[in-house]
C-alpha cells in the first residue's frame, strides 16, 4: 500500500468506512462516500457480552452518519439476518428514512419488524433480485449477485463509482447441492475479474479447513436420524436458519409427522417463509400446542427455539419443566441442529443436562453425526470466491481481529502480496485516489447501547455501577438529621441487598455506626466555621470513610448509598 503525498488525497476521493462488525461477529455496517453522496451496506445489531449487564443490543455508531445524513442516498442489504438488518428500526428515523434495497425475503422480514414499531409507512423498502443493477444518485451503481448462505435471497454486492469499485462478499458458502436455494451466480462473480479495486471478504470460518458441508448432506443425515426415532422428535435450531427449517418441513412430509412450532421468533420466520412460498405447508401438516395429546408420540416433530440455552426460549423452558404443553419424557429424542456460540456453552450444557436427566435422548452435531452445517464458507469456499472475483486488494471483515488475521494468512497462501491485504478496525476510514489506498482519519465507532427503550443513554458509569451491584450488592444508610440543629437524631438505619447478612454482621455494623458519628461530628464542626451546612460534603466524606473500612474488613466494594431525611 503506497502512502503517497498527503495533499493527493482530497474530498473527491472514494472513501470507505468499516464502521462496525470488525471487532465482533455481528453489528455489520460499512459505508462508502464519494463527494456529497453516501451509500450504506448493512445495518445490523449484536448481542452484548456478559460484561454488559442489562444491555439488550449493540448497534452501529451514528455520529458521523447523522452529521452527514443529507448525503445518505441508500441502504443496501446483503441478506435478512439480524446481524445485518437488526438496527434499522433505530437508524432509519435518525437518518430521515433513506430508501432500503433488499431481496424479497429480507424485505418481508424488514417490513414486518418495522411494522411492529409503526415505522413501515415511513420507510421505503425496494425489492431486488440477483439480476438487479441500479443507479443510485449520480455516483453509485449497485449490482446484486446471488450467493448461497442459510437464508433465501442472499447477495454479494458490487458497488461501482467514478472513483473506484468495491465488492462486498456478504455472508456466503459455496454449496454445489443446495436444498432450497439457487446456487451462487458463478458467472456473474467471474465477470468481475479485473474490475474490483477492493473486496471486503467475510472471515467467520477463516481457520476451518476444507469445504463447509452441503445442506443436502445435512438433510439426508437428519432424515436418517428422525426416521429411526421411536418417540417424539424435538429439534432446536436457529429461527433465522431458513434452509434448515425448509429441510425439516420436507422431512416431516416424507416421514408422515405433524409439526408443532414453539417459540415466537420461529413462528414469525416460518410465517414469512410460507407467505413468500419458500416453505410449502400443506393443510394439516402443522398443529397447535394444545392439540399435542391428539397424536401418538412417533407422529410428532416439535420445532422450538432455544438452541443457545436462552432463559425464556422454548427448549430451555421445556428443560425446566415450565412449558405448559410440552413435558420431556422417556423415549423423546432431542436434536440440537445448531452450533454452540462460545459465550453460551455453559447455558447450553446446563440445559442439555436437565433434558438428559428427564429421560430424553440427545443428539448434537459431531463429525460422526453431521446434523448441522454453517452458512459460512470454510477455507476452500473462501479460496473459490477469491479465485472467481480475483480482486486487486482484499480487506478481511466480519469478526474480531483474530478471525481477520487468519483470513489474511489465507490470502497470503493463495498468492496475494502482503501490501494488498488490509486489516481494518471499527470506524476506520480508507481513501482511494484511483491507484492506491491509504488509511484516513478514523471516526467515532463505539457501539450505541440499547437498554429497553433507552437508546445510547447507558454509559460507562452506569455499566460500572451495574457490575459493582452484581458483584458486591448495595449498602444503604439512612440518617435522620435535624433541619434546625443538623444533629443526628437516633441511630442510623442500615439496609443491605446482596452485600451482607445483617443478623450475622452486628460487629461490622457497630463499627460503621461509630464511623458515621465521627464523620458527622467533624463535618458539623467544620460547617460551623464556614457558617454553611453542605449535605453533599457530608455524604461524600461518609461514603469514602465507610467504603475504606468495609474494603479493609471484607475486601468487598458494595455501592454505598447515603440518604438523609
pLDDT for the residue numbered 463:
52
42, 29 Cβ separation under 8 angstroms:
yes
In terms of Cα–Cα distance, which of 201, 229, 249 is closest to 21? 201
CA angle at 247 for the pair 244 and 248, rounded to the nearest 5°: 90
d(CA 184, CA 214): 13
Say if residues 497 and 474 touch (Cβ distance below 8 Å): yes
Report the alpha-carbon distance of residue 432 to residue 484 in Å, rounded. Answer: 72
84/524: higher pLDDT: 84
Average pLDDT of the residues in 309-338:
91
3-state secondary structure of 362: strand
Lowest mean pLDDT across 183-187, 235-239, 554-558 = 554-558
In the chain, % of residues over pLDDT 70: 91
Q: At what angle do helices 242-254 and 264-275 cross, to 10 degrees?
A: 80
How far is CA 154 from each of CA 217, 243, 393, 442, rounded to the nearest angstrom? 21, 12, 23, 30
Separation between Cα atoms, residue 279 and residue 372, nearest integer Å: 19
Sign, CA dihedral 75-79-82-83, equals negative
Work out whether strand 437-439 and strand 454-455 pair parallel, antiparallel, or are unpaired: unpaired
**Which cell numbers hold the place of 543?**
461514603
Please give the pLDDT value at position 52: 47
pLDDT (mean) for 286-295: 92
Cβ-in-10-Å burial (0-12, 13-18, 19+) of 165 comes to: buried
Per-chain mean pLDDT for the chain: 87
How high is the pLDDT of residue 47? 72
pLDDT in tens, 314-327: 999 999 999 989 99
DSSP string, 391-457: -SSEEEESS-HHHHHHHHHHHHHTT--GGGB----TTEEEEE-SS-EEE------PPEEEETTEES-
Round to whole Å and give the CA distance between 205 and 269.
Answer: 25
- Please tell me the distance from the alpha carbon of residue 465 to that of residue 176, in angstroms, as a whole number: 52
pLDDT tops 50 at residue 2? no
Q: In this predicted structure, what is the pLDDT of residue 456?
A: 47
Rounded CA separation 428/404 (Å): 15
Closest CA to 375 of 507, 192, 181: 181
C-alpha–C-alpha distance, residues 83 and 550, integer Å: 44
Q: How confident is the model at residue 11 (pLDDT cuts 50, 70, 90)?
A: low
Instruction: Please choose, from the candidates 133, 2, 146, the residue with its C-alpha nearest in 3D space to the C-alpha of residue 78.
Output: 146
Q: pLDDT higher for 523 or 545?
A: 545
Asked if residue 152 lies in contact with residue 178, where contact means CB atoms within 8 angstroms, the answer is no
Instruction: Give the residue-averaged pLDDT of 155-166.
Output: 97
Q: Sorting pLDDT into bands at 50, 70 and 90, what band is 531?
A: low
Q: What's the confidence (pLDDT) of residue 87?
A: 92
Best CA proximity match to 558, nearest among 502, 479, 517, 504: 502
Rounded to the nearest 10 degrees, the angle between the axes of helix 242-254 and helix 215-228 is 40
Chain centroid to Cα 299, Å, comes to 36
Distance in angstroms (rounded) separating the CA atoms of residues 2 and 253? 59
Least confidently predicted of 49-58, 443-452, 457-466, 540-549? 457-466
Give the 3-state secondary structure of residue 559: strand
Contacts 24+ apart (CB under 8 A), 140-144: 140/32, 140/34, 140/37, 140/39, 140/73, 140/74, 142/39, 142/74, 142/76, 142/101, 143/188, 144/101, 144/103
Of the candidates 350, 353, 341, the residue with the CA atom closest to the CA atom of residue 308: 341
* Backbone CA torsion sign across 273, 278, 284, 289: negative
For 186-218, write each residue's pLDDT tens digit.
999 999 999 999 999 999 999 999 999 888 998
Strand (E) positions, 310-402? 333-336, 361-364, 394-397
**236, 338 contact by CB (below 8 A):** yes
Question: Is a pLDDT exceeding 90 seen at residue 310?
Answer: no
Structural domains for the chain: 13-210+374-455 (3.60.15.10), 215-364 (3.40.50.10710), 460-564 (3.10.20.580)
Higher pLDDT residue, 101 or 182? 101
pLDDT in tens, 348-387: 999 999 999 999 999 998 877 788 888 899 999 999 999 9
What is the Cα–Cα distance from 488 to 179, expressed in whole angstroms? Answer: 77
Q: What pLDDT, on a 0 to 100 scale, did the predictor assign at position 455? A: 55
Q: If you count them, how many residues does the chain have?
A: 565
What is residue 561's predicted lDDT score, i.e. its pLDDT?
A: 84
The neighbour count for residue 395, using CB atoms within 10 Å, is 27
Distance CA 234, CA 288 (A): 15
User: End-to-end alpha-carbon separation of the chain, Å?
Assistant: 67
The residue ranking higher by pLDDT, 459 or 434, is: 434
Q: Looking up cell 466555621, which residue turns up?
A: 529
More confident of the two residues 465 and 20: 20
Indicate if the pLDDT at residue 347 is higher than 50: yes
Phi and psi, residue 494, nearest 5°: -115, 140
| Mean pLDDT for the stretch of residues 137-155 | 94
Sequential DSSP letters for 132-191: -EEEETTTEEEEEEEEBSSSSSEEEEEEEETTEEEEE--S-B--SS-SSSPPP-HHHHHT
pLDDT tens for 399-429 read 889 999 999 999 999 999 999 999 999 999 9
Secondary structure letter of residue 289 according to DSSP: G
Q: Give the tens place of pLDDT for each residue, 479-493.
A: 888 777 778 888 888
The pLDDT tens digits of the residues spanning 81-128 come to 989 999 999 999 999 999 999 999 999 999 999 998 899 999 999 999
Whole-model pTM: value is 0.80
| Coil/strand/helix, residue 356 | helix
Q: Tell me what pLDDT residue 277 has.
A: 87
- The residue-averaged pLDDT of 241-266 equals 92
pLDDT value, residue 468: 58
Amino acid at each position: 500500500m503506497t502512502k503517497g503525498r498527503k495533499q493527493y488525497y482530497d474530498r473527491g476521493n472514494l472513501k470507505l468506512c468499516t464502521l462496525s462488525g470488525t471487532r465482533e461477529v455481528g453489528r455489520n455496517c460499512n459505508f462508502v462516500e464519494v463527494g456529497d453522496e453516501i451509500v450504506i451496506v448493512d445495518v445490523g445489531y449484536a448481542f452484548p457480552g456478559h460484561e454488559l449487564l442489562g444491555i439488550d443490543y449493540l448497534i452501529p455508531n451514528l455520529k458521523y452518519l447523522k452529521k452527514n445524513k443529507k448525503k445518505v442516498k441508500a441502504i443496501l442489504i446483503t441478506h435478512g439476518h439480524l446481524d445485518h438488518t437488526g438496527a434499522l428500526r433505530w437508524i432509519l428515523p435518525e437518518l430521515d428514512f433513506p430508501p432500503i434495497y433488499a431481496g424479497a425475503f429480507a424485505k418481508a422480514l424488514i417490513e414486518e419488524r418495522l411494522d411492529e414499531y409503526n415505522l413501515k409507512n415511513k420507510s421505503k423498502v425496494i425489492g431486488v433480485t440477483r439480476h438487479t443493477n441500479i443507479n443510485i444518485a449520480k455516483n453509485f451503481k449497485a449490482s446484486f449477485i446471488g450467493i448461497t448462505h442459510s437464508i433465501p435471497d442472499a447477495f454479494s454486492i458490487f458497488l461501482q463509482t467514478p472513483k473506484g469499485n468495491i465488492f462486498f462478499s456478504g455472508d456466503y458458502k459455496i454449496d454445489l447441492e443446495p436444498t432450497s436455494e439457487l446456487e451462487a451466480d458463478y458467472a456473474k462473480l467471474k465477470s468481475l475479474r479485473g474490475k474490483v479495486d477492493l473486496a471486503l471478504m467475510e472471515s467467520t470460518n477463516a481457520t476451518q479447513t476444507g469445504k463447509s458441508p452441503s445442506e443436502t448432506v445435512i438433510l439426508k443425515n437428519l432424515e436418517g436420524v428422525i426416521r429411526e426415532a421411536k418417540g417424539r422428535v424435538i429439534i432446536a435450531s436457529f429461527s433465522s436458519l431458513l434452509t434448515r427449517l425448509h429441510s425439516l418441513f420436507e422431512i416431516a412430509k416424507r416421514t408422515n409427522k405433524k409439526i408443532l412450532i414453539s417459540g415466537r421468533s420461529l413462528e414469525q420466520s416460518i410465517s414469512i417463509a410460507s407467505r413468500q412460498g419458500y416453505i410449502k405447508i400443506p393443510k394439516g401438516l402443522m398443529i397447535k400446542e394444545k392439540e399435542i395429546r391428539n397424536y401418538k408420540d412417533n407422529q410428532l416433530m416439535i420445532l422450538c427455539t432455544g438452541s443457545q440455552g436462552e432463559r425464556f426460549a422454548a427448549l430451555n423452558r421445556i428443560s425446566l419443566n415450565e412449558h405448559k404443553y410440552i413435558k420431556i419424557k422417556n423415549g423423546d429424542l432431542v436434536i440440537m441442529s445448531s452450533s454452540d456460540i462460545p459465550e453460551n456453552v455453559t447455558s447450553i450444557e446446563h440445559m442439555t443436562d436437565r433434558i438428559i436427566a428427564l429421560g430424553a435422548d440427545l443428539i448434537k452435531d459431531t463429525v460422526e453425526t453431521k446434523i448441522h452445517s454453517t452458512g459460512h464458507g470454510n477455507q476452500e469456499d473462501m479460496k473459490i470466491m477469491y479465485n472467481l472475483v480475483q480482486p486487486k486488494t482484499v480487506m478481511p471483515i466480519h469478526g474480531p481481529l483474530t478471525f481477520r488475521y487468519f483470513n489474511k494468512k489465507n490470502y497470503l497462501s493463495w498468492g496475494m502480496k502482503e501490501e494488498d491485504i488490509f486489516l481494518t478496525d471499527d470506524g476506520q476510514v480508507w481513501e482511494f485516489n484511483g491507484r492506491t489506498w491509504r488509511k484516513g482519519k478514523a471516526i467515532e465507532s463505539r457501539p450505541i447501547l440499547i437498554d429497553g427503550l433507552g437508546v445510547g443513554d447507558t454509559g460507562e458509569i452506569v455499566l460500572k455501577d451495574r457490575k459493582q451491584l452484581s458483584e458486591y450488592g448495595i449498602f444503604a444508610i439512612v440518617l435522620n438529621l435535624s433541619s434546625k440543629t443538623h444533629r443526628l437524631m437516633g441511630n442510623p438505619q442500615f439496609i443491605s441487598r446482596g452485600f451482607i447478612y445483617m443478623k450475622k454482621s452486628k460487629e461490622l455494623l457497630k463499627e460503621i455506626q461509630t464511623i458515621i458519628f465521627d464523620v458527622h461530628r467533624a463535618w458539623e464542626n467544620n460547617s460551623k466555621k464556614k457558617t454553611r451546612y453542605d449535605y453533599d460534603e457530608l455524604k461524600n466524606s461518609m461514603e469514602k470513610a465507610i467504603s475504606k473500612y468495609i474494603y479493609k474488613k471484607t475486601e468487598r466494594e458494595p455501592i454505598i448509598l447515603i440518604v438523609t431525611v
